[in-house]
Each structure stands twice: as structure tokens, then as C-alpha cells.
Amino acid sequence: PPRSTLFPYTTLFRSQWTFGNTNHLSAPVESFGFNFGAPGDRSDDDGVLWFDYPIVGGPSPKITIKTTPKTPRTFARHSLLLPTHDFNWIGASGFDGVTQVQLSMPKSKKKARYTVRLIFSEPELKQACVRVFSVSLNGQTVLKFLDIAALAKEPGQTIVREFKDVEIDKKLTIDLQPLTEAQPVLSGISIVQQP
């Protein structure tokens, strides 16, 4: 087809991803996010920089991430194909089958309180009650019987859950316990230090 025919299509499906060298950071990182399975790094409207993991778009900060299983399956869709949501570009990709994510805080020397956001999206458009799991942060259960499909107003909608006053001392461990045969999914995590 002529270029004029293709142009609206390519414009519609263009995304805003980048990467940057953050190895020069000398102070503790006070806010960051990880977007699992994403094609690069990207900032949200609050100025939080979300890094891709596994790293594919270029250098990212030296934050140690351990997962169970060691190499979870990833999924990816185009965010414009998902229901409109501020974080649908995060929900467009993620881990499928992950039961634990452990983040080591960069250059952290003392305990601090953070606001933690967890981003979820149902990648296979399963029905309610098919994929149900619980979530804990550093051993404290924060979500019981999480059913993303039941919470979504539209199939594939991104679901965000925010937790304030989470005390973190060098490490944050997120445990996801499956309660049905379908395994847990997780699209992203953001951590913002509270004043």
C-alpha cells in the first residue's frame, strides 16, 4: 500500500520507550519502577522512571532482582490494544508464573518507608475465578484472593494496587501464592520513598 495508507497505522502503534545509562548514580535511589517484559525504559506522569526487566533496551541501574522461578515466562501485547488506563503500557507486559520477586535496594543504608505499587493484568483473558492468588510484601499479606479478571471492568484491563508505609531495609520481597491452577502474574512494581 502507499505510504499515506500506512502512516495512520504506524502512528497509532508507536510507543514511547527509551534507555539511559544510570551507572553514574551516587545517591540512594528514592523512586523507581520495574516493568517486566517491557521493550525499554519509560517515565510515568509522576516522574517515576520505569526500567525494563529482563534488560533489553540498554543499561539500567544496578538493582539486584531475583525471581522464582529464576527465569519466569514473559508476555507482551501492545498497550493500545488494551482498555484505556494510565498504566496500561505497564500492564501490556509482565511475568506469567512468578511466585516471588526480590529487589535489593540500591545504595540503601537504613530503613525507610515507601509507597509500593503493584501492577497486574490478565494476559490470557481468563474468566473470573480461574487465576486467583495472594500477595505479601516482606512477609505481610496485603492482598488475599486477588482475582484480576473479576476486578477488571473490561477484559485485559490493568489493575493497580497501592500500599503506603511499607518499611524496607535493603530488600523488598514480593511473594505471590497461587490459590488456583493458573499461576500468578505480575506486570510491574514501583517504589517511592515517603518524606
Q: For residues 173 and 87, what is the distance between their CA atoms, to the nearest angstrom?
A: 22
Q: What would the pLDDT profile of 36-59 be if each residue is shown by its tens digit?
A: 999 888 888 888 889 999 988 666
Q: What would the pLDDT profile of 134-149 be if each residue is shown by its tens digit?
A: 999 999 999 999 999 9
Model confidence at 24: pLDDT above 80: no
Model confidence at 19: pLDDT above 70: no
Other CB atoms within 10 A of residue 47 CB: 8
AA identity, residue 44: D
AA identity, residue 192: V
What pLDDT was estimated at residue 109? Answer: 63
Q: For residues 140 and 158, what is the distance between their CA atoms, to the nearest angstrom?
A: 24
Which long-range contacts does 8-14 make (Cβ < 8 Å, 24+ apart)?
12/80, 13/78, 13/80
Model confidence at 71: pLDDT above 80: yes
Q: For residues 52 and 17, what is the distance between their CA atoms, to the nearest angstrom?
A: 10
Please, which pLDDT band fits residue 13 given cuts at 50, 70 and 90? very low
